[in-house]
Every structure is written in structure tokens, then in C-alpha cells.
Amino acid sequence: MVLKFIKKIIFLLMTTVGTLGNISIFVNYMFSWWRGPEKKPIHLILIHLAFTNIILLLVKGLPKTIAAFGLRNFLDDIGCKIIVYLERVARGVSICTSSLLTVVQAIIISPRASGWRRLRPKSAWHILLFIFFFWILNALISVNIIHSITSINLNMSQLKSEDNYCHFMLESQKTKWIFLILMVLRDAVFQGAMGGASGYMVSLLHKHHQQIFYLQKAKLLYRTPPELRAAHSVLLLMLCFLFFYWINCAFSLFLSLSLQYNSLMIYIQEIMVLGYATFSPLVLIHRDALLGECWHSLDDQCTHHNT
């Protein structure tokens, strides 16, 4: 009984706080996008990441919150197919977008003499091609959901015990393994790119900190460029993503191998699914309240506001 009450509060808070936080990030960068004379690729990526998180929170968090409070099933088969399919696609797009954010930020802070600078997006509109590709890719990878998900028509007592509206029907082992391999390959490729870009940024930031230490010893004034402050925030976002992703994987693996029903583990695994979408906007808001302004302008006014 206590566990169910805690689950109600957690899902309600995560869905509400996460949605409001992502809306705040979305609106902030949309204003920066339209007001700025130059369209920054990072702005567009963050706008898209916030939009993807909002979709995930609405199609995953909202039904889970309603189910946790024991309300009657309002989803039919079509409704279940839509929300579960959107959830799976949005989670995949979030992984791809987070990887793109890390790679682009690494390219932005790379030295001018580096060959990586040639890969820097010339226009923010080039990012739209990647975004379009991400949605198509994940829509295809998740297409099996349309055939394997159905609604649960339960009475109130059953609903309270199961705490769910939709369930997966059995599908052929061949189909299951094909789509599982595709998802694993997608995650491996994009997380590999994310890890490589993050490692590259860490090395550049380490060199930068050594430079600051030298200048401070020489009593010379030096201000950290906004691109490097942004890189710190992106790295923090990636740590947040990897934490929730791998914790979710660990619990999912445990549940798949477990022979007994463990409601506590299921609750934690469901919470981990929403973790990144909930906390990523809070990381940006807490870490850099004026981050959008720093990305919009690299002049002394931005530095003045951050000091």
C-alpha cells in the first residue's frame, strides 16, 4: 500500500516537473532562435531534445500516473498502439539527439587547426536533416510495436493490482530478435559516438584548465569562453543520460531473467525510463540559467552576466 502511494507521488511529480521544465527549455531556446541574427545549431538540437522529452513524458508518464491513481482504463487497442509506439520512437530519438548534441558541441570547441572544425554545421538547417533521419530511423525500428501491443480490459480490482493499461502480445522469435538487434545496434552506434565526443571534450577541457592554472599563476586575467561553459553543461547532460539509461538496462535485464514478479523492481525500472526526460531540463536550468544567452552571444555582455 505504501509502495503504491509512493509510486503515485513519484509519477505525478516526474510527469509534472519534467513537462514544465522541458516546456521552459523549449520556449527559452525558441525565443533565442527567433531573436538571434544567427541561427545556432545547438539551439535547434536543444529545442528538439526538449520537444522529444515532452512527448515521452506525456505518452509514458501521463498514462502511468493515471493508472497509478487507479482510474479506469481509457485506452482502447488503437490508443495503446499509438502511445506505446510514440514512447518507443521518442526514446530512440532522444538517444540519437543526445548523441548529436555531444558530437556537435565537441566540434564547436575543437581548435581551429583541427580537422574536426571542417565538420562544423554551416547552418542550423543542416541539423534538420539529422532530426528528420532520426525520426524515420526510429519509426522503422519500432514498427513491430503496432502489431504486438494491445489494450487490457480489466475491472477496477484487476487494474489496481496490475497498474497498467497496455500489454505486449506474443510475437515470433524471429521478429523479436530482428528488432531487438536493430535497437541494440542503434544504441551502440549512437552511444559510441556520444562516448567518443565526450572523451574528446574532456581532453580539451583538461587542456583548458591547465591553461587557466598557468595564467592564474602568472596573474593574468582570463575569462572562460561561453563555448567551453556550454561544453561543461553538455557533459553533465550526457552523464545524466548514461546514468538513467544503464540503470534502466540493468533493471530490465534483471526483470527479464527473474522468474518471480517483483513489483518494486518494475516500479524502479518504469521510473528510470522517465528519469532523463525529467532531469535533463533541470540540469540545464540549474547549471546555466543564462546558457541560451551565452550560446546566442559570445561577447562581453554574456560574460558580465555570468560573473
Per-residue three-class SS string for 18-50: HHHHHHHHHHHHHHHHHHCCCCCHHHHHHHHHH
Short-list 283, 303, 174, 156, CA closest to 228: 303
CA–CA dist 21, 24 (Å, integer): 5
Q: Give strand pairing partners of 167.
A: 150
pLDDT value at residue 227:
65
Ranges of each domain in the chain: 2-306
pLDDT value at residue 69:
77
- Asked whether residue 243 carries a pLDDT value surpassing 80, the answer given is yes
H-helix or E-strand spanning residue 275? helix 263-287
Short-list 95, 63, 90, 102, CA closest to 79: 63
Short-list 305, 288, 297, CA closest to 229: 288
DSSP letter, residue 259: S
Q: Kindly provide the b/e burial profile for residues 199-224, where b requires at least 16 CB atoms within 10 angstroms of the residue's own CB.
A: ebbeebbeebeeeeeeeeeeeeeeee
- Asked whether residue 213 carries a pLDDT value surpassing 70, the answer given is no
pLDDT band at 155 (very low <50, low <70, confident <90, very high): very low
Q: Please write the tens of the pLDDT for every residue from 264-279.
A: 888 888 888 899 999 9
- Asked whether residue 25 carries a pLDDT value surpassing 70, the answer given is yes
Residues 49 and 42: beta-carbon distance below 8 Å: no
pLDDT value at residue 51:
96
pLDDT value at residue 72:
64
- Asked whether residue 104 carries a pLDDT value surpassing 60, the answer given is yes
Residue 26 CB neighbours (<10 A): 19
The CATH classification number of 2-306 equals 1.20.1070.10
Alpha helices in 110-164 (DSSP H): 125-141, 145-148, 156-162
- The percent of residues above 90 in pLDDT, for the chain, comes to 30
CA–CA dist 135, 130 (Å, integer): 9
What are the C-alpha distances in Å from 155 to residues 1, 70, 71, 160, 161?
Answer: 19, 11, 10, 9, 10
Range in 132-141, 160-169, 174-183, 285-294 with the lowest mean pLDDT: 285-294
Task: Return the residue matching grid coordinates 564547436.
Answer: 108
Angle at 68 between CA 146 and CA 183, to 5 degrees: 35
pLDDT value at residue 289:
55
Range in 47-56, 129-138, 142-151 with the lowest mean pLDDT: 142-151
pLDDT value at residue 207:
77
- Asked whether residue 161 carries a pLDDT value surpassing 60, the answer given is no
Set of cell numbers at residue 121: 554545421
DSSP letter, residue 73: P
Q: Residue 280 carries which side chain, given as an amino acid letter? A: S
pLDDT band at 146 (very low <50, low <70, confident <90, very high): confident
